[in-house]
């Protein structure tokens, strides 16, 4: 072969188009990673379609993942953004979901990566789509929840925000009921100086206090011990914020998700969770979780439900 000294160089991008996000599948077809031209990145484990990393351009991690989290598909991930469907917690009194494991099967199922789409405008962004259907479930899981459904989960990354949305479709002849939650673990510097705003006036179920129903009177909710609350915010259109010290670090906007769970295991609970590490990691995380978990969403044949959250890094 003749070597041409003036041969044309390979083009990195198509002329005239702005730089695009780079999407890669790695770890033996187990993970999908997207990196924007500006350096922000997101990584999703196909086991559970769990977002396990969301980084700023300077490589600062925004999500907390336990050091003992299983990322090999052997169990749901402790940290990141696990997907809760079709039941929140356990529901022994709800016949259709009574036999399912805690938080359902979405977070422990293998999802299919359906592809990417990028912004055609000057603002770099990328959307990654993932799918799970009744056809892809094991016979064991189908026996526990025998409905014909399809889930489309989308993760959209741009320079300042991460949007996660779920579309649930009933593809069968029989209606079904479900709950869903985006179980987001935020990484923070110090829980003792962190508060959550946007919950004042909201009714909430305090699961640490015998599931008693209370009303939030504080404009800033502090975490001073084990916390496990299901809020139904009264100001649905306003974002919920995580405040560290005197500065907001995250805004969480919800779309068609009426409830917000606030969770921190604190000392004793963290010590008893096998895959929670380090044991004092509760000091550096807080879960603020958008979902629909108070009651049940009923979906008739052919109907769809869509819920989403958009997290803005401030």
Euclidean distance between CA atoms 297 and 95, whole angstroms:
15
> Residue 128 has which token pair?
């990654």
107 known ligand binder: yes
**Catalytic residue check, 289:** yes
Euclidean distance between CA atoms 92 and 310, whole angstroms:
32
Torsion of CA 247, 252, 258, 264, to 10 degrees: -60
SS3 201: coil
Q: Which residues of 82-106 are buried (b: 16+ CB within 10 A; e: fewer)?
A: bbbbbbbbebeeeebbeebeebbbb
> Residue 202 has which token pair?
């909201």
SS3 271: helix
Contact 153, 130 (CB under 8 A): yes
**Catalytic residue check, 120:** no
Greatest distance between any 2 Cα atoms in the chain:
81
Catalytic residue among 103, 183, 216, 244: 183
Contact 286, 261 (CB under 8 A): no
4 known ligand binder: no
Sign of CA dihedral 181, 94, 175, 148: positive
What region, left, alpha or beta, does residue 89 occupy, with left being phi > 0 and alpha being psi -120 to 50 degrees?
left
Q: Measure the N-to-C terminal CA separation of the chain; round to a whole number of Å.
A: 56
Torsion of CA 77, 82, 87, 91, to 10 degrees: 40
Rounded to 5 degrees, φ, ψ at 141 are: -70, -40
102 known ligand binder: yes
> Residue 161 has which token pair?
């925000």
User: Which residues are known binding-site members?
Assistant: 78, 102, 107
User: Which residues are known binding-site members for substrate?
Assistant: 78, 102, 107
What amino acid positions are annotated as catalytic residues? 183, 289
């Amino acid at each position: 072969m003749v070597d041409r000294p003036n041969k044309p160089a390979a083009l990195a991008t198509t002329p005239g188009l702005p730089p695009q996000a780079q999407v890669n599948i790695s770890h033996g077809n187990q993970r999908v990673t997207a990196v924007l031209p500006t350096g922000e990145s997101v990584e999703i484990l196909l086991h559970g379609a769990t977002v396990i990393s969301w980084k700023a351009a300077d490589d600062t991690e925004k999500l907390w993942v336990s050091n003992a989290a299983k990322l090999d598909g052997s169990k749901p991930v402790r940290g990141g953004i696990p997907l809760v469907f079709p039941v929140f917690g356990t529901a022994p009194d709800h016949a259709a979901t009574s036999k399912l494991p805690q938080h359902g099967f979405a977070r422990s199922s293998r999802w299919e990566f359906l592809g990417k789409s990028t912004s055609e405008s000057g603002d770099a962004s990328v959307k990654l789509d993932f799918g799970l259907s009744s056809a892809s479930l094991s016979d064991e899981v189908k026996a526990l929840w025998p409905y014909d459904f399809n889930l489309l989960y989308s993760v959209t990354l741009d320079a300042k925000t991460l949007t996660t949305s779920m579309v649930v479709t009933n593809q069968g002849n029989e209606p079904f009921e479900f709950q869903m939650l985006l179980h987001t673990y935020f990484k923070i510097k110090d829980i003792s100086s962190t508060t959550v705003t946007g919950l004042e006036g909201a009714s909430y179920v305090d699961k640490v206090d015998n599931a008693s129903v209370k009303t939030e009177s504080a404009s800033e909710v502090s975490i001073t011990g084990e916390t496990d609350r299901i809020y139904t915010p009264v100001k649905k259109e306003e974002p919920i914020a995580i405040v560290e010290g005197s500065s907001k670090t995250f805004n969480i906007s919800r779309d068609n998700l009426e409830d917000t769970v606030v969770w921190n295991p604190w000392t004793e609970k963290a010590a008893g969770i096998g895959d929670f590490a380090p044991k004092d990691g509760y000091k550096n995380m807080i879960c603020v979780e958008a979902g629909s978990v108070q009651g049940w969403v009923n979906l008739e044949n052919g109907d769809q439900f869509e819920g989403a959250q958009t997290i803005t890094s401030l």
